[in-house]
Amino acid sequence: MIISLNPEYKNIQIDRTKVHFYKNFFKLEKNFDFNTLAFFLDRKEYENCYQPNGIIKLTQFEVFDEGKHFVNIVKDLLLDKEYKRVDTYVFASLSKISISQNHTDIESVFLFPLIGSVVYNIYDQTNHTSYPMNVGDLLVIPKNIVHAAIPLCPRIVISVGVFD
Please report the pLDDT score of residue 145 as a whole number: 96
Please report the pLDDT score of residue 143 as a whole number: 96
Please report the pLDDT score of residue 22 as a whole number: 97
| Residues sharing a CB contact under 8 Å with residue 61, sequence separation 6 or more, in sequence order | 40, 67, 70, 88, 89, 90, 158
pLDDT per residue as tens digits for the range 132-164: 999 999 999 999 999 999 999 999 999 999 999
Please report the pLDDT score of residue 163 as a whole number: 95
What would the CATH number be for the domain defined by 28-163? 2.60.120.10
Please report the pLDDT score of residue 51 as a whole number: 73
SS3 28: strand
Please report the pLDDT score of residue 58 as a whole number: 92
Low-confidence ranges of the chain (pLDDT < 70): 46, 48
Element (H, E) at 162: strand 155-163
Tell me the pTM. 0.94
Tell me, what amino acid is at 25?
Answer: F
Tell me, what amino acid is at 158?
Answer: I
